[in-house]
Amino acid sequence: MITKIATLLTLVLLVVINFSIWSYINYPLQFQPWTKTTMGVTFDPMRKDDTQKTKIFHDPVEIEADLALLANKVHAVRTYSVLKGLDKVPELAAKHGLNITVGAWIGGDLEKNRQEIETLIKISREDNPKIVRVMVGNEVLLRNEITEDLLIDYIREVKKRTWRPVSTSETWDKWLIHPELVKEVDFIGVHILPYWEGIAANEAVDYVFDRYNTLKQAYPNKPIIITEVGWPSDGQPFKHATASRANQARFLREFLNRAAKEQIAYYVIEAFDQPWKMSDEGSAGAYWGIFDAERKAKYSMDGVVFSLPAWEHWAVGAALFSVVLMGLFLFTRTNLKLPGLLFFGLIANLAASVIFWTLSIGAQQYQTPVTIVFWVLLVLMQMLAAVILLIESLEIAEVVWHRKTARTFTPLEPTSEFKYPKVSLHLPIHNEPPMMVRKTLEALDRVDYPNLEVLVMDNNTKDPAIWEPVREDCQRLGAKFRFFHLENWPGFKAGAINHALEQTASDAEIIAVIDSDYMLSPDWLKCMVPYFDNDNVGFVQSPQDYRDRHLNTFKSFCYWEYAGFFNIGMVQRNEYNAIIQHGTMTMIRKSALQEVGKWAEWCICEDSELGLRLYEAGYDSVYCKESFGQGVMPDTMSGYMTQRFRWVYGAMQIIKGHWRSFLPTKKSPLTSAQRYYFVAGWLPWFSDALALLFTTTSLILTAVLLYDPLHSELPVNAFLLPTIGLFSFKIIRSLWLYQARVPCSIWQSLGASLSGLSLTHTVARGTIQGLFTNGKPFMRTPKFEKQGALVAGLLTIRQELLLLTLLGTAIWFMYHLEHFDNLSGRLWIAVLSVQSVPYLAALITLLVSIAPAYGLGGKALAEEDDV
């Protein structure tokens, strides 16, 4: 009862802390207030879902509604075109007391230019005192759509046919290089948009007035009107300019107050957000409005501003989601100490907040069907990353802050009355070095167990020179050893040991299996067989161990990488009767094996699959972490990768074959803890597959933004948790747990992390191929394999090298891309850099593995390993 109350109080405390952090991040921002009427805004009545192609005609009712909304808030509006019904704007503006600058859109279509000009002239000649000036074209020289001479001709024509002041609008730099154009206009209509020049928001207003004064000095006798000035409230950053609600409010309030003080005429771009502009200007183009596309004010001009409006709703959502996450995990963990509860709860709150922060970003933006799909996929991947993060956090909490339980098994000492059941030990071999197998057989001959038979199953070895010496050794060692040579035998290893099961002595009660390279301790059977006195024990497992870690640095790395699983994962799984059975150093009750249907020949990890079936049948397991036998590790990077690929591919086969057992239903034959630990054990492999997916996506997005930086946006926030977050936590978790459970030095744990990272791509391939293909053959891990040369090794990791090269190239181009010389660009470089680490680890591990072939690193860690 006390534990549940402590858990509940912990949840409440963490939720309160999380909500406080949201509140702190979204504190109200105070800027210089603007309490007067804004001089002018640019106006386009396009709605949220309108585009230039779909909007054939503007409804006068909608136009008037917009102008009514602007009345009393601004003195004037400026338009860009007079076609598609926009010729009604001057009349409707006058109705609501708004002055208007009427514009004609000029471009490369000369026929359309003529329509614009004729309509502009017609409107300007009407008796409408609210028309204060007319504009012929907007940034037409900047777009380079017509020549300066043709633009001047248009301006001269309009000036001849109207009495209104006439000009055109261009950016400040275009006016400086076109003095002839200045001579033709009645005033200079200038666009000064510091965002598009990459100026930081805190320097932007000064920049506007600097450019304004530069023009004033260049043309002292010509009136100047700023016809576009503003800042976007969202969208991709441009160099040092960041688009945000807070930066827009800061810029506008500061500019409006200063413009009023210095009596400058201006038009803020723009009245309403224009989502259609994203196709022309990138994502920022949609967010220049004072009002959003739904005609709602983004903030008051004289009150506080929040970076994330309605942040309380998102914070509450994140809090509730974190409560659900913590509840699902923590209320079933009665043996977890309070610091463990706090640690896991903190990670759960962080993960929930990151997901809801991502959702809040997407919710504030204008989405298309394509971008909605993109955001949904990103959020789903973030949720998968969060689940992986939580499972690994729970592992840390349980290992470091777990109360001792009764499921701790140690070697037993049989009493004098103990009746030793007969053990049939099966030794499958395939094309193994005879001298290696001889050592294994001689060690078996020294096993101190009174009731034992050994069945050696040679599976499809073609060369008699390899298998016949093994047969002779079996004959030499006596009747306890029986040798079988199987030609063209199906089922790979599982087929061979199924045949061994058929040849097993009828009075045998226990089946033991070891690999061909294992040298057993004489007391293994005596110490572990007594656990079968419990009729519900289906199998007893001892850890894999290795005797060749001193040979070179590569093997030392591999040794400690393996040790993590057997000292951390298997020990923790054993607490919940949910260990992974592996095909060496294992013993199975023969009757249980026959009951569940022998070894699965359809699965290349027949050992793990059998263990799962034994659990499904209701049997228990025993895991004792003491080492009773030692084999040899892969000699090459190729062998190391092949072995791991087989384990991963086989696990995916098991998932597909037993998926119903993992469903959280009463019909599942597994306990909830067994379901959890099997799924939790496989999720890190899904994490590697997810990392490959994110890496591929990152490379595609980088290529797109390099090709078209203006219209590309970096979804940095959505990538931080699944890339930098997961990677960093993976390293921290590994080092933390190794120091807690694995008897190695910090340098050895770092070597284990390096070798584990080097298999990331292999694990990702195994996961994806295992999920979507069938029928991969059993892949034997070769023993005493000759080390290849550098070129052969590089070919082994050619896929990793390709991705490393692509990521390195992407980083180089991003570093030199001026458009993204900002925080988002640097964060994206960090994402790409983190994604490249596993591929760099593969290269380093390969070089370490081949070093002995070049006389390097042969005994490098011998002394350290003895620490």
Instruction: Answer whether the bond into residue 270 is a cis peptide, omega within 30°.
Output: yes
- Whether the CB-CB separation of 80 and 110 falls below 8 Å is answered with no
The per-residue pLDDT for 719 is 76
Picking from 357, 436, 465, the residue whose alpha carbon sits closest to that of residue 26 is 357
Q: Rounded to an integer, what distance in angstroms lies between the CA atom of residue 200 and that of residue 202? A: 6
Q: Rounded to an integer, what distance in angstroms lies between the CA atom of residue 648 and that of residue 765? A: 9
Give the pair of three-digit tokens for residue 507: 């009075």
> pLDDT, tens digit, for every residue of 201-212?
999 999 999 999
Q: What is the mean pLDDT of residues 635-655?
A: 94
Q: Rounded to an integer, what distance in angstroms lies between the CA atom of residue 637 and that of residue 132? A: 78
CA torsion, ordered 38, 39, 45, 50, to nearest 10 deg: -70
| DSSP secondary structure letters along 346-379 | HHHHHHHHHHHHHHHHHHHS---HHHHHHHHHHH
Residue 781's pLDDT band, with cuts at 50, 70 and 90, is low
| DSSP secondary structure letters along 778-814 | P----SSPPP--HHHHHHHTHHHHHHHHHHHHHHHHH
Q: What is the mean pLDDT of residues 409-421?
A: 92
Q: What pTM did the predictor assign?
A: 0.84
The per-residue pLDDT for 824 is 83
Q: Rounded to an integer, what distance in angstroms lies between the CA atom of residue 344 and that of residue 330? A: 8
Q: Domains in the chain, ordered, with CATH?
A: 2-25+309-400 (no CATH), 38-286 (3.20.20.80), 683-865 (no CATH)
Task: Give residues with Cβ within 8 angstroms of 686, minimum separation 6.
Answer: 384, 388, 767
| DSSP secondary structure letters along 3-35 | HHHHHHHHHHHHHHHHHHHHHHHTPPB------
> pLDDT, tens digit, for every residue of 247-283?
999 999 999 999 999 999 999 999 999 999 988 888 8
Q: How far is CA 202 from CA 193, 247, 252, 307, in A?
A: 14, 8, 11, 16
Q: What is the mean pLDDT of residues 137-157?
A: 96
CA torsion, ordered 843, 640, 392, 362, to nearest 10 deg: 50
The per-residue pLDDT for 3 is 60
Mean pLDDT of the residues in the chain: 91
- Whether the CB-CB separation of 481 and 463 falls below 8 Å is answered with no
Q: Rounded to an integer, what distance in angstroms lies between the CA atom of residue 756 and that of residue 734? A: 10
**pLDDT surpasses 90 at 482:** yes
Picking from 680, 779, 790, the residue whose alpha carbon sits closest to that of residue 387 is 680
Give the lowest-confidence range in 321-335, 508-522, 646-660.
321-335
The per-residue pLDDT for 860 is 41
Task: Give residues with Cβ within 8 angstroms of 506, minimum separation 6.
Answer: none
Task: Print the SS3 string covering 671-718.
Answer: CHHHHHHHHHHHHHHHHHHHHHHHHHHHHHHHHHHHHCCCCCCCCHHH
> pLDDT, tens digit, for every residue of 98-112?
999 999 999 999 999
Give the pair of three-digit tokens for residue 538: 């289906």
- Whether the CB-CB separation of 408 and 744 falls below 8 Å is answered with no
Q: What is the mean pLDDT of residues 634-647?
A: 93
Q: What is the mean pLDDT of residues 519-530?
A: 96
Q: How far is CA 313 from CA 28, 139, 358, 380, in A?
A: 16, 42, 14, 21
| DSSP secondary structure letters along 166-192 | EEEEEEHHHHHT-HHHHHH-SSEEEE-
Angle at 601 between CA 595 and CA 604, to 5 degrees: 120
State the burial class of residue 554 (Cβ atoms within 10 Å of its Cβ: 0-12, 13-18, 19+).
Answer: buried
The per-residue pLDDT for 1 is 45
> pLDDT, tens digit, for every residue of 572-620?
899 999 999 998 999 999 999 999 999 999 999 999 999 999 999 999 9
Q: Rounded to an integer, what distance in angstroms lies between the CA atom of residue 333 and that of residue 331? A: 5
Is the CA virtual torsion 174, 178, 181, 187 positive or negative? Answer: positive
What is the percentage of the chain residues whose pLDDT exceeds 90?
A: 69
The per-residue pLDDT for 862 is 39
- Whether the CB-CB separation of 275 and 286 falls below 8 Å is answered with yes
Q: What is the mean pLDDT of residues 423-448?
A: 96
Task: Give residues with Cβ within 8 angstroms of 107, minimum separation 6.
Answer: 113, 140, 143, 145, 146
- Whether the CB-CB separation of 89 and 79 falls below 8 Å is answered with yes
**pLDDT surpasses 80 at 737:** yes
The per-residue pLDDT for 7 is 67
Q: Which ranges of 401-446 does DSSP label H, i.e. alpha helix?
A: 434-445
Give the pair of three-digit tokens for residue 14: 């963490």
- Whether the CB-CB separation of 841 and 757 falls below 8 Å is answered with yes
Higher pLDDT, 88 or 825: 88
- Whether the CB-CB separation of 717 and 361 falls below 8 Å is answered with yes
Task: Give residues with Cβ within 8 angstroms of 431, minimum separation 6.
Answer: 461, 462, 463, 466, 780
Residue 330's pLDDT band, with cuts at 50, 70 and 90, is low
Residue 785's pLDDT band, with cuts at 50, 70 and 90, is low
Q: What is the mean pLDDT of residues 368-388?
A: 84
Residue 855's pLDDT band, with cuts at 50, 70 and 90, is low
The per-residue pLDDT for 786 is 63
State the burial class of residue 112 (Cβ atoms within 10 Å of its Cβ: 0-12, 13-18, 19+).
Answer: middle
The per-residue pLDDT for 331 is 62
DSSP bridge pairs for 620: 537
The per-residue pLDDT for 867 is 31
Q: What is the mean pLDDT of residues 814-834?
A: 87
Higher pLDDT, 693 or 854: 693
**pLDDT surpasses 80 at 866:** no
- Whether the CB-CB separation of 760 and 731 falls below 8 Å is answered with no
Helices 726-741 and 823-850 sit at what angle, rounded to 10 degrees? 50
Q: What is the mean pLDDT of residues 838-845?
A: 96
Give the pair of three-digit tokens for residue 795: 């070919």
φ and ψ at 129, to 5 degrees?
A: -65, -15
Q: Are strands 131-138 and 166-171 parallel, antiparallel or unpaired?
A: parallel
> pLDDT, tens digit, for every residue of 213-236?
999 999 999 999 999 999 999 998
What is the percentage of the chain residues whose pLDDT exceeds 70?
A: 95
Residue 177's pLDDT band, with cuts at 50, 70 and 90, is very high
Residue 861's pLDDT band, with cuts at 50, 70 and 90, is very low
Picking from 387, 388, 378, 386, the residue whose alpha carbon sits closest to that of residue 694 is 378
**pLDDT surpasses 90 at 859:** no
The per-residue pLDDT for 863 is 36
Q: Rounded to an integer, what distance in angstroms lies between the CA atom of residue 770 and that of residue 764? A: 10
